[in-house]
Amino acid sequence: MSVAQFAVFGHPIAHSLSPQIHQDFARQFGIRLDYRGIDAAPDQFEVAVREFFANGGVGANVTLPHKAAACALADQRSEAATRAGVANVLTRLPDGRLGAHNTDGAGMVRDLTERHNMDLRGHDALLLGAGGAAQGVAWALLDAGVQTLTIVNRSPAAADALADAIGEPARAHTRYWEDLGEIGSYDLIIHATSAGVLHQPLSLPLSLVGARAFCYDLSYGEAAIGFLTWARAAGALHAYDGLGMLVETAADAFELWHGQRPDTAPVYQALRPQYG
């Protein structure tokens, strides 16, 4: 009997943890699956995706830099994918068409609230970045009860576009990156720029970090070191990377594909020591 095929598309993809995470989940249920990383340059992404699904692929995760393209090429989009305009999961529907989902926001909120015991309700949150990663989590933060979301991006137009798309001016608004030193402090700071992934230095004023601040980077490993080092130097009470978010978003994709909810705790605990 052939084994169901899954994949993660990215560029680069060599260091993706998704194959290992999905195999660990599958073992919890005695499911056998084929899950591989597929490196596709942006101009090859759509062709590679269509080939994968035409050859029997069941589901795919999508990571940088393809999340917007994944959302665009799908035939159907979940509400989370529609409003974010980016997708991290593609699924072959029963009629052969492709469905897009975005599990980033829900996964991040679950990591924050359940793993790190953070009550998001009532917080004034600062979101650094307005690209695909930020778009994936902005609505989920508001849904989870943050009182206000201040979006700050190096290019103001992208921050304005995200705030406009959210369309709740009393809760979600923007400030200029150049003014970060003058906007006071926050007790919840979400870092969603790709500076760390791109090995670019991130220069942020220490004054942003409130006395009991919770600082969170959507990335993990080396990419998160710059932000987390800054957060600790600024006196943050908590500074966490997004490794738990990765495992939670993977669990949502796994449930979509297999109809069973994996236990994320042992998978997270097994990965944690490798990432500091």
Judged by CB under 6 A, the stretch of 1-9, 16-24, 198-206, 241-249 that binds ligand ATR is 198-206
DSSP class of residue 56 equals T
Q: How many whole angstroms separate alpha carbon 5 and alpha carbon 30?
A: 16
- Cα-based distances in Å from 47 to 2, 41, 42, 52, 81: 24, 10, 10, 9, 21
231-260 residues near ligand ATR, rule: CB under 6 A: none
The verdict on 88 binding ligand ATR (CB under 6 A) reads no
Judged by CB under 6 A, the stretch of 96-104, 178-186, 195-203, 253-261 that binds ligand ATR is 195-203
Torsion sign over Cα 144, 59, 217, 201: negative
The verdict on 195 binding ligand ATR (CB under 6 A) reads yes
The verdict on 154 binding ligand ATR (CB under 6 A) reads yes
The one-letter amino acid code at 272 reads R
100-129 residues near ligand ATR, rule: CB under 6 A: 129
DSSP class of residue 84 equals H
The verdict on 171 binding ligand ATR (CB under 6 A) reads no
From 193, 180, 75, select the one nearest 137 (Cα to Cα).
193
What residues are annotated to the active site? 67
Q: Name which position in 200, 207, 229, 269 contacts ligand ATR (CB under 6 A).
A: 200
Question: Smaller CB distance to ligand ATR: residue 58 or 183?
Answer: 183
At 252, is the secondary structure helix, strand, or coil?
helix
- Cα-based distances in Å from 158 to 105, 135, 161, 205: 19, 10, 5, 21
Judged by CB under 6 A, the stretch of 37-45, 132-140, 248-256, 268-276 that binds ligand ATR is 132-140
Q: Which residue is nearest to ligand ATR (CB)?
A: 131
Q: Name which position in 131, 210, 226, 244 contacts ligand ATR (CB under 6 A).
A: 131
Smallest separation, CB 269 to ligand ATR (Å): 26
Q: How many whole angstroms separate alpha carbon 10 and alpha carbon 16?
A: 9
Question: Smaller CB distance to ligand ATR: residue 92 or 191?
Answer: 191
Q: Which two tokens stand for residue 43?
A: 């101009």
The structure tokens 């597929």 sit at 38
Binding-site size, ligand ATR (CB under 6 A): 18
The structure tokens 């609230």 sit at 113
Question: Smaller CB distance to ligand ATR: residue 153 or 262?
Answer: 153
The verdict on 150 binding ligand ATR (CB under 6 A) reads no
Contact assessment for residue 233 and residue 208, using Cβ atoms and an 8 Å cutoff? no
Binding site for ligand ATR (CB under 6 A): 64, 67, 129-134, 153-155, 158, 193-195, 198, 200, 202
